[in-house]
A = this chain, B = another copy of it.
Amino acid sequence: VTGFEARRLVRTKQHRGPTAELAPGFVQANLVAVPAADAGDFRLLCARNPVPCPLLDETAPGTVTSSLASGSDLRTDLPAYRLWRDGDLVDRLDDAREIWRDDLVAFLIGCSYTFEWALTEAGLPSRHARCGLNVPMYRTNVPLAPAGRLHGHMVVSMRPYPESEIDRVRAVTRPFVEAHGEPFAWGDPGQLGIRDQSQPEEGDAVPFEPGEVAVFWGCGVTPQVVAVESRLPYVITHEPGHMFVTDRRHEDLRRAELD
């Protein structure tokens, strides 16, 4: 299906659950909606931390349509939402119309599904996809550059690859700068302060095969940790894995000069 059709399936509840397999070829995005009073800080957070938070779109206050997706409604076109108040996760919903406020500004952030599509095209599919799992995500000890009232630590997603393939994995994902780009780190999870790889904070642990090492990418769930650490008063996000499907194609995000 196309991005447009995918959004209709989600809006009418014909599709529930993760969006990984929905509308292959179309860019998906992380959602972060904050009151206009916090929007300037959030925009600056993205500018200062573009690896976890590559900004694809920002709405005007009170607008619920993204310029990346015709006829879209950000309150209904994602399968699952989270509501955060004062740093606490207080609600999970499959429709955000009742919690959306007129002063909210929505930010859309690039998603790993884009580079996973490229990895699959290159014959390097992700383990979690082949196992039918969600990608494992870990909170790290890597500090973000703060922006006004916003601060926190980076979240990474992890995919195992044979050590011999890391150069190719890096090269395939490098051109997708607006979708986290090349890996942030690989090898020892301790270098990022990750103590137990079998206990991801989000998503599912995945099995390793002999000779494989962990490869870590910046992750668009990072703003959810920022919401907690900064004790933001009011934030709506997607549920990890349950993304906003746009009309853009993955190829549109490839920077040819980095191939």
Q: Which residues of A contact B (CB under 8 A)?
A: 40, 44, 47-48, 50-51, 142-143, 145-148, 170, 174, 177, 181-185, 191, 218, 257-258
Contact = CB atoms under 8 A, between A and B. Distances in A.
Contacts of A143: 142, 184-185, 191
Contacts of A146: 182-185
B218 A40 contact: no
Contact of A44 (B148, B184, B258): B258
A174 B146 CA distance: 10
A26 B177 CA distance: 32
A147 B182 contact: yes
A40 B184 contact: no
Given A48-B50, A258-B44, A148 B174 contact: yes
Contact of A177 (B47, B50, B181, B184): B47
Number of copies of chain A assembled together: 2
A211 B202 CA distance: 41
Contacts of A48: 50-51, 177, 181
Contacts of A170: 148
A25 B71 CA distance: 49
A67 B173 CA distance: 32
A100 to B, nearest CB: 25
Contacts of A183: 146
Contacts of A184: 143, 145-146
Nearest to A192: B143
A218 B145 contact: yes
A170 B145 CA distance: 12
Contacts of A40: 257-258
Contact of A51 (B145, B174, B258): B145
Nearest to A183: B146
22 contacts: A40-B257, A44-B174, A44-B181, A44-B258, A47-B177, A48-B50, A48-B51, A48-B177, A48-B181, A50-B50, A51-B145, A142-B142, A143-B184, A143-B185, A143-B191, A145-B181, A146-B182, A146-B183, A146-B185, A147-B182, A148-B170, A148-B174
B258 A177 contact: no
3 closest residue pairs by CB, A with B: A51-B145, A48-B51, A145-B184
